[in-house]
């Protein structure tokens, strides 16, 4: 939020945030003002209450009950400041027997089944530790959605509200904890009907053919990510194994037996040792339809050509460490862009500024705002918003489904060619992936015909948002590009999610 102009005040205890030791802390907290309040003292608690009165949003991640012990619970502050949006992020939620368990990602992930879902990746039984903070990341984005939705409602009815989310909620919902044999949905289906949904035998965590990792001649590893049949077969042709598609054992790849899959894998692994990673990538780039990348560490990734071409990494000058390379704002708004905000604050750096303002405004009554009018309160935060979802596979459709959860009307527009659509509709590949379609209306339109374009243009004229993730050049060909859409509907928000950004080769 600080990257997009909000004044964000980081409140720390005496001595500072206990997670300051983590290198990423300076990136997580960039652009914020920093103050110290001792909530164990009456003065510190009173300052916190006054500060809440000057804020639009309060965000806290303490265990349930801690804020109440300090006199800072939602019920207390909402009475004083009806316009306040109060966001709570916990490990296991506000209720239940685990509500007071410390919400560290590893504990929550183990309880939520994420680690057991990874069983079989190494050559042993049992859970696998999940090093990536998937739940925390999803919880941060859920909090962002909730805060923005609550601010929208407040603009309409004059009152804030309590926004609540948790790591366990966000591990239960996302796609990446639902897919696979140990995914939450598949496990439930097996309990209901084990004959129809049998458990697959555990292997050694071997990938699908479309996602096969390979070692090349120079020792560099390439990761492939080809989901659709034409791209999987295109990969085989590009590396000189196209003749195998005439073999009865492999012609229906990826829908082949486990035995034949492993035979084909061996052929791929052997073939890809014949050239270096750079040579293979040159072949793939010339083809244009094969998804693959060399493995990089996080430092090397910052020098990726697409990262450099799209300015996805910026340099912030931090007085403690010098020039610091970090991610640019994650969303590019063309008319009102974000800006990389300055370095993270020192402990208590802005106490004089922030607390001085409180003393000057001590006589103001911040909570004296009009009461909400029930007629103005929407049934759902995004009620009345219409979104056209033309995105495919995962990120785009899942994002639109999350907005449908908040009350938006989402119209999913699919292609009419089933050969293409089977590769795009995630429901054609795994039962768990129906999450990307839930809550939507769905139509099929052939955008390659004048009639199809006319239908979508009529929808654009009445929509609030259009979302897609087509490759560059495709939107212009289908007449759903930004310039076309803005002429039809100047109020339309046009969202594009590209894999590599709009600049670079």
Residues in the chain: 505
**pLDDT for the residue 178:** 59
pLDDT at 430: 46
Whether the pLDDT of residue 369 is over 70: the answer is no
Asked whether residue 272 carries a pLDDT value surpassing 80, the answer given is: yes
Q: Which residue has the higher pLDDT, 189 or 288?
A: 288
- For residues 402 and 126, the model is more confident at 402
Q: pLDDT averaged over the chain? A: 88
**pLDDT digit string, tens, across residues 155-200:** 999 999 999 999 998 887 765 555 555 566 666 677 788 777 666 5
Q: How far apart are CA 391 and CA 176, in angstroms?
A: 18
Q: Please state the rounded mean pLDDT for residues 73-87.
A: 97
Alpha-carbon span 70 to 72, nearest angstrom: 5
Please enumerate in sequence order all residues whose Cβ is within 8 A of that of 185, keeping only pairs 6 or more positions apart, or say none.
178, 431, 432
The pLDDT of 86-104, averaged and rounded, is 95
Q: What are phi and psi of 351, to 5 degrees?
A: -55, -45
Q: How far apart (Å, rounded) are the C-alpha atoms in residues 464 and 403?
A: 13
Cβ-based burial of 256 (10 A; exposed 0-12, middle 13-18, buried ≥19):
middle
Report pLDDT digits (tens) over 443-484: 999 999 999 999 999 999 999 999 999 989 999 999 999 999
Domains of the chain, residue spans = 213-299, 379-496
pLDDT at 183: 62
Strand partners, 87: 59, 163
Better pLDDT: 193 or 362: 193
- 135 close to 170: Cβ distance less than 8 angstroms: yes
Q: How do residues 322-357 score in pLDDT, each as one tens digit?
A: 999 999 999 999 999 999 888 999 999 999 999 998
What is the predicted pLDDT for the residue at 429? 45
Say if residue 360's pLDDT is above 90: no
Half-sphere exposure of 214 (CA within 13 A, CB side): 30
Lowest mean pLDDT among 58-67, 202-211, 243-252, 397-406: 202-211
pLDDT(366) > 60? no
* Count of CB atoms situated within 10 Å of the CB of 497: 13
Q: Write down the CATH number for the domain with range 213-299.
A: 3.30.1540.10
Element (H, E) at 459: helix 450-462
pLDDT at 368 over 70: no
pLDDT band per the 50, 70, 90 thresholds, residue 365: very low
pLDDT over 70, % of the chain: 89
**Per-residue pLDDT, 444:** 92
Distance, in Å, from the CA atom of 179 to the CA atom of 436, rounded to the nearest integer, reads 12
Cα separations in angstroms, 53 against 68, 78, 254, 366 = 17, 10, 59, 6
Average pLDDT on 106-123 reads 82
pLDDT score of 362 more than 80: no
- Give the residue-averaged pLDDT of 197-215: 75
The pLDDT assigned to 60 comes to 98
Lowest mean pLDDT among 196-200, 285-289, 363-367, 392-396: 363-367
Average pLDDT over residues 65-79: 97
Which neighbouring-strand residues pair with 292? Answer: 224
Q: What is the mean pLDDT of residues 360-364?
A: 60
Which superfamily does CATH assign the domain made up of 379-496 to? Answer: Crotonobetainyl-coa:carnitine coa-transferase; domain 1 (3.40.50.10540)
* Least confident segment among 218-222, 273-277, 424-428, 501-505: 424-428
């Amino acid at each position: 939020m600080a990257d997009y102009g909000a004044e964000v005040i980081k409140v720390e205890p005496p001595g500072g945030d206990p997670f300051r030791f983590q290198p990423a802390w300076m990136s997580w907290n960039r652009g914020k003002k920093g103050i110290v309040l001792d909530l164990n003292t009456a003065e510190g608690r009173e300052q916190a209450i006054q500060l809440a009165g000057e804020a639009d949003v309060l965000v806290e991640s303490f265990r349930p009950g801690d804020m109440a012990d300090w006199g800072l619970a939602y019920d207390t502050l909402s009475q004083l400041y009806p316009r306040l949006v109060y966001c709570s992020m916990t490990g296991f939620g506000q209720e239940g027997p685990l509500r007071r368990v410390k919400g560290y990602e590893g504990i929550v992930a183990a309880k939520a089944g994420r680690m057991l879902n990874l069983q079989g990746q190494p050559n042993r039984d049992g859970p696998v530790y999940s090093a990536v903070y998937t739940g925390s990341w999803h919880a941060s984005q859920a909090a962002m959605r909730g805060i923005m939705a609550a601010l929208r409602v407040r603009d309409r009815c004059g009152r804030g509200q309590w926004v609540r989310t948790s790591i366990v909620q966000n591990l239960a919902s996302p796609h990446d904890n639902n897919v696979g044999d140990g995914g939450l949905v598949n496990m439930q289906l097996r309990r209901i009907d084990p004959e129809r949904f049998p458990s697959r035998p555990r292997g050694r965590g071997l990938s699908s053919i479309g996602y096969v990792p390979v070692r090349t001649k120079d020792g560099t590893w390439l990761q492939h990510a080809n989901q659709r049949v034409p791209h999987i077969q295109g990969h085989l042709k590009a590396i000189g194994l196209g003749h195998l598609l005439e073999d009865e054992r492999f012609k229906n790849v990826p829908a082949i037996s486990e035995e034949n899959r492993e035979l084909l894998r061996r052929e791929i692994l052997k073939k890809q040792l014949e050239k270096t990673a750079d040579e293979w990538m040159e072949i793939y780039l010339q083809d244009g339809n094969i998804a693959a990348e060399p493995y990089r560490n996080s430092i090397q990734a910052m020098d990726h050509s697409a990262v450099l071409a799209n300015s996805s990494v910026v340099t912030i000058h931090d007085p403690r460490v010098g020039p610091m390379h970090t991610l640019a704002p994650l969303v590019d708004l063309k008319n009102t862009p974000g800006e990389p905000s300055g370095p993270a604050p020192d402990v208590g750096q802005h106490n004089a500024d922030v607390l001085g303002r409180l003393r000057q405004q001590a006589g103001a009554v911040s909570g004296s705002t009009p009461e909400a009018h029930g007629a103005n309160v929407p049934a759902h935060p995004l009620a009345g918003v219409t979104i056209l979802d033309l995105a495919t596979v995962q990120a785009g459709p899942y994002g639109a489904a999350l907005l449908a959860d908040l009350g938006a009307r989402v119209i999913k527009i699919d292609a009419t060619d089933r050969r293409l659509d089977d590769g795009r509709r995630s429901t054609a590949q795994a039962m768990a992936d129906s999450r990307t379609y839930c809550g939507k209306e769905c139509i099929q339109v052939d955008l390659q015909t004048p009639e199809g374009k006319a239908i979508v243009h009529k929808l654009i004229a009445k929509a609030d948002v259009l979302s897609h993730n087509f490759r560059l050049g495709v939107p212009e060909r289908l007449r759903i590009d930004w310039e076309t859409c803005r002429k039809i509907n100047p109020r339309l928000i046009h969202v594009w999610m590209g894999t590599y950004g709009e600049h670079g080769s």
